[in-house]
Each structure stands twice: as structure tokens, then as C-alpha cells.
Amino acid sequence: MRFDVLTIFPEMFEAITQYGVTSRAFSKEILHLKTWNPRDFTSDPRKTVDDRAYGGGPGMVMMVGPLEDALQAVQEDIASSSAMKKGPTVLMSPQGRVFNQDLAKEMSQLEQITFVCGRYEAVDQRFIERHVDFELSIGDYVVSGGELPALVVMDSLIRLMPNVLGDANSAQQDSFSDGLLDCPHYTRPENYKNFLVPGVLLGGHHGRIESWRRNESLIATQKSRPDLILAARKKGLLSLKDEKVLQEYLETLASGLNK
């Protein structure tokens, strides 16, 4: 896969290429990243990429020209350097579709993605209408620019690629991979200040361990994200055994509240 990023702060993307698990994808050339600074596509001495908004109001707006020229350079580079099919142009924006694990799985199948990282108050709507395939958000809040959200999305996609994680099962067991939150995890020591690792994890019975993990995943999801339980139920992802575990948990919770 190849990522192309339009950003006025290309240095920020060193974080994903040089550190941690994601750096493996680049060192193994599973993934390629190119950054494109709109300032390099300006003609004035100040390398201006923003201007005041028509109609007034606070903040500055990113101009169409530098972004459009940078995107054109991306398209020409892809066409000249490989037989790779150009993927979607994605604007990171709080107004976009909210990113989730299902979308991550879908996007991880693409050969190429161009991320547009806005700054200032907004991006000129004419660029969005002419070139952006869809807008993408990482949540209902606002940050200073699209770089951090793009890094979050890229990290999520990289984890799903073959030969990136040390254990291929890690991504499959992440929270949201099956519509639920992950179960609790423990490591040495077995006894830490009289807080013990659950005995079932020490017995070596794989069937019991898997059953415990499933039950704990269900309970954790019911506690923190009951909306995910409702969604899983609608999708038919919960078995009769799952429903029994949830019912017993809710009954135990209710009895404790009534004491």
C-alpha cells in the first residue's frame, strides 16, 4: 500500500515511519509514504497557502490552487512510477464520516490513499467538491489540523496489513475486531500485591480460556459500550450462550444495586 499526504507539516509523519510497530511496515517496504507540501506549489515569495474567508469571520481558509497542484503532482507521480491504481482522496475533517474498525478493514484493502490534511479554519469548498472523494473524522471534536487524525487512521490501517504485527492474531483480537471490546489481559507476576491473575488463565485449558475471554469481552462491552452490544445483536453476532452471559451479568448487577 502507498500513502500520499498533502500537508504543510511533513515532518510530523516521521513519527509513523521511524517508531514502533508501524516502522516495520516501512522498513519491510510493505508500505510506502510520500508527503507533498502545498507550499512547494506556490509562486509567491511567502509561499502563501491560505487567505481570509469571503464573507468575513475568524480564521483563514486554505486556498484551492496549491492543494490542487499538489494533488496533480501526486497523480502524475503514481502514474509514472508504478502500475498501482490510484485510490481515494480523503480529507481529514470533523465533518466527515466517523472512522471505525469496519471502515479500517475496508480501507486496508486499497492499494493507495491520498490524505489531505487541512489547517487553519477550513479548506476552500471548491477543492473539496472538485477533488475529495470523502471526508473522514476520528471523532466529534476538533484538533488543530488533519495531520494527527491522518496518523491515527494510517496506524490503524497498517496494523491490519500482513507481516506487520509480530503475531498475526493480534489484530484479530483487538477491540472492535468482532464488534466487541477486548477482554482483560495479564502478565507476570502472577501475584502483584495480592492482586491475582484469574486462575482460569493459569490452567492451560485452551477451551476454558477462550470461553473466559469471550465472556469477559461481553461484560466489558456491556459495561462501557452497551451500544456495541445492541449493534452486535442486530447483526446476529451474539450466540445464545453470549446472551445468557449478558443476562446473568445484568441480573447480578441489578441485585447488587437493590441491596
Active centre residues (catalytic): 94, 121, 159, 174
* CB neighbour list of residue 242: distance below 8 Å, 6 or more residues apart: 214, 218
Cross-strand bridge partners of residue 4: 34, 114
User: 120-155 burial string, b = 16+ CB within 10 Å, else e?
Assistant: bebbbeebbeebbeebbbbeeeeeebbbebbbbbbb
Take residue 23 and report the three cell numbers written for it: 516502522
Cα–Cα distance, 183 to 146 (Å, whole number)? 32
Please report, as a single letter, which amino acid is at residue 80.
S
